Amino acid sequence: MTKQQQWWEKLLLKLAASIIFYTIIPLPYLNGLDFRGVASLASLIGLIIGGILGLVDTGMDYIGMPVLTRSVLVVSIWIAITGGLHLDGAMDTADGLAVGDPDRRLEVMADSATGAFGAMAAIALVLLKIAALTDIAESRWLLLMAACGWGRWGQQLAIARYPYLKPTGKGAFHKQAIRSYKDLLPGLLLLFGLSGLLWLIDKQQLFLTLAMIVVGSAIATLTGAWFNHKLGGHTGDTYGAVVEWTEALFLCVLTTFQ
C-alpha cells in the first residue's frame, strides 16, 4: 500500500469515526477506528447533517407539504440524526448555570436528571429553530448546512481557545484533536466555500453570502466566549450547548436577510 493510499484510508477511518460519534447514521463495522481525532472533522460532519436535512426538506417541499409542517419535521429529524447529543448538553448546561453557587455548577451538569431550566432551554431551542425555518423561504437547504457547520465550528473554536474543566469525560479527548488555531482553518474554509456557493448559484445573493460568513463566525465565537465567561472554561456539555445555540441564533438572525 502506497503512502497516498494509507493517507486516504486514515482519512476515511477518521471520517467514519466522526460520523459514528456525532450521529446515529448506520455504518458497517470497521477495524481501526480511533475516536480521539473526531473533533477535527466536526465542521464537515455538520455540513453532512445539514445536507441530509436539506434533502429531506426539499423532498417535502416537492410534494407540496406546508412550510410549518416541514419545519417541525426537519427540526425533529435534526434532533434524531444527532441522537440528541448536543441538545442534551445544552439542557445540562442550562441546569448548571441556573445554580447560584458556581462551585456546584459542574456537579449539577454531571447529573443525568433534567431539571426545569434544562427543559426550558430545550423548548426554547426547538421553538427558535422551527420559527426561524418557517420564516426562511429561499435557500433553506444551504442555510441548514451553514447552521450545522457554524455550530460545530463554534465547538471547535471553544475546544481550541478555552480550558477543559474536567480531568476526564467525553469531551476531554477533543483537546488532542484541536491543539491550535491552525486546526480550525479546514472547517473555516469549508464554510467560506459553502457561502461562496450561494453567490455562484445566484449572483444577486452577495449580501446574504456575506451575512452568512459574518453572522456565523460572530455567533460561533460569542456563544463559546459566553459559556467560558460563566463557567471559566468548557466541558462536553457546553460544547453541545455551543452547537445548539449557534445553530438556533444563526437561523434567527438570517431571517432578517430574507
Q: Is residue 71 part of a domain?
A: yes
Cell readout for 187 is 472547517
Q: Is residue 14 part of a domain?
A: no
Q: Is residue 25 part of a domain?
A: no
Q: Is residue 17 part of a domain?
A: no
> What pTM was computed for the model?
0.94
Q: Is residue 196 part of a domain?
A: yes
Model confidence at 170, pLDDT cuts 50, 70, 90, reads low
Residue 182 amino acid letter = K
Model confidence at 32, pLDDT cuts 50, 70, 90, reads confident
pLDDT at position 1 = 64
Cell readout for 7 is 493517507
CB atoms within 10 A of CB 175: 15
Measure the CA–CA gap between 99 and 236, rounded to whole angstroms: 18
Asked if 151 and 246 touch (Cβ cutoff 8 Å), the reply is: yes
Measure the CA–CA gap between 198 and 209, rounded to whole angstroms: 6
Mean of per-residue pLDDT scores for the chain: 91
37 pLDDT higher than 70? yes
Measure the CA–CA gap between 258 and 256, rounded to whole angstroms: 6
Q: Is residue 54 part of a domain?
A: yes
Note the pLDDT tens digit of each residue in 109-145. 887 778 899 999 999 999 999 999 999 988 899 999 9
Read off φ and ψ for residue 142, nearest 5 degrees.
-75, -40
152 pLDDT higher than 90? yes
CA-based torsion, 198, 148, 238, 90: positive or negative: positive
For residue 114, what are the domain limits? 34-257
Q: Is residue 61 part of a domain?
A: yes
Asked if 148 and 74 touch (Cβ cutoff 8 Å), the reply is: no
**Total number of domains in the chain:** 1
